[in-house]
């Protein structure tokens, strides 16, 4: 199951020119850790590698705790990842980044029990955060000056997607600029990027796994840039 998940993750990032190497697999039995009852303690015990090493923790009952923003404590989570942060330099004590990594519900791996989200897409989505991507619906606004996910080629999206819509979803009609716009004029793009239907097939939406297709070139560029700034060589 884990190796199938790794294959899915690797394939998901191919069009973004990002690759991964599986350094190892550890299996640990701990009920408290399994339900996210001691995240920091778990990572202090298990985390390996430096700041450029992606650590993924698959937990059988991943629950929100009192510090999980916007989610009632005890709710089941599909996953969450840390975003890259500034201030991590070569030689820094590992305690500075001990919580870095991804926590993911094990039932979302290929063949898992979480129907609709058991093909491996959750890991691809969450690792996108670890690489610096935000949700395509970040900000939840159609305002012309809303920066959204800071990627120009993901159309502006006001609401997250549930499942995989069979009809066109466009939560921000009449926003953005046409793809390929030549950029002539005063503030021709604005921060909101391209117009068009919601990117329901993008890994950074909340669509079901069967709906996911990939990342945009802009997202790929953002991930590579953030890697070079925040993680490369650390």
Residues 105, 180 share a domain: no
CATH code of the domain in which 31 resides:
3.40.390.10
Residue 169 CA to chain centroid, in angstroms?
Answer: 21
Residue 217, H or E segment: helix 217-226
pLDDT given for residue 185 in this prediction: 46
Residues 195, 101 share a domain: no
Domain that residue 112 falls in: 1-133+217-231
pLDDT given for residue 174 in this prediction: 78
pLDDT given for residue 124 in this prediction: 99
The pair of structure tokens assigned to 45 is 């015990």
Half-sphere exposure of 50 (CA within 13 A, CB side): 12
Residues 94, 19 share a domain: yes
Residues 101, 204 share a domain: no
pLDDT given for residue 193 in this prediction: 66
Residues 129, 140 share a domain: no
pLDDT given for residue 189 in this prediction: 45
Residues 139, 114 share a domain: no
Residues near 107 by beta carbon (within 8 Å), at least 6 away in sequence: 60, 113, 114, 117, 118
Residues 171, 222 share a domain: no
Residues 102, 210 share a domain: no
pLDDT given for residue 66 in this prediction: 80
Which residues form the catalytic set?
Answer: 126
Residue 78 CA to chain centroid, in angstroms?
Answer: 11
pLDDT given for residue 187 in this prediction: 44
Q: Is 0.85 surpassed by the pTM of this model?
A: yes
Which residues of the chain are under the pLDDT cut of 50?
185-190
The 3-class secondary structure across 108-161, one letter per residue, is HCCCCCCCCCCCCHHHHHHHHHHCCCCCCCCCCCCCCCCCCCCCCCCCCCCCCC
Residues 117, 13 share a domain: yes
pLDDT in tens, 29-66: 999 999 999 999 999 999 999 999 999 999 999 999 88
Calpha distance 72→109 (Å, rounded): 24
Residues 30, 59 share a domain: yes
DSSP letter for 228, please: I
pLDDT given for residue 192 in this prediction: 56
What backbone phi and psi angles, to 5 degrees, belong to 177? -125, 155
pLDDT given for residue 159 in this prediction: 97
């Amino acid at each position: 199951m884990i190796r199938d998940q790794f294959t899915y993750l690797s394939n998901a990032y191919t069009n973004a020119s990002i690759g991964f190497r599986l350094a190892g697999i550890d299996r640990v039995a701990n009920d408290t850790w399994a339900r996210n009852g001691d995240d920091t303690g778990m990572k202090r015990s298990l985390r390996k590698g430096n700041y450029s090493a992606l650590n993924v923790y698959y937990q059988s009952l991943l629950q929100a705790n009192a510090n999980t923003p916007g989610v009632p404590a005890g709710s089941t989570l599909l996953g969450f990842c840390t975003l890259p942060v500034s201030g991590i330099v070569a030689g820094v004590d590992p305690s500075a980044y001990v919580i870095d990594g991804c926590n993911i519900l094990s039932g979302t791996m290929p063949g898992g029990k979480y129907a609709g989200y058991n093909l491996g897409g959750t890991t691809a989505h969450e690792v996108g955060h670890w690489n610096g991507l935000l949700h395509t619906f970040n900000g939840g606004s159609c305002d012309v000056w809303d920066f959204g996910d800071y990627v120009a080629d993901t159309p502006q999206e006001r609401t997250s997607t549930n499942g995989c819509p069979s009809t066109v979803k466009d939560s921000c009609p009449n926003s953005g600029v046409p793809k390929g716009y030549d950029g002539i004029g005063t503030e021709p793009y604005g921060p909101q990027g391209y117009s068009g239907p919601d990117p329901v097939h993008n890994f950074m939406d909340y669509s079901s796994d069967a709906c996911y297709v990939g990342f945009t070139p802009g997202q790929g560029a953002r991930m590579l840039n953030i890697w070079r700034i925040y993680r490369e060589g650390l």
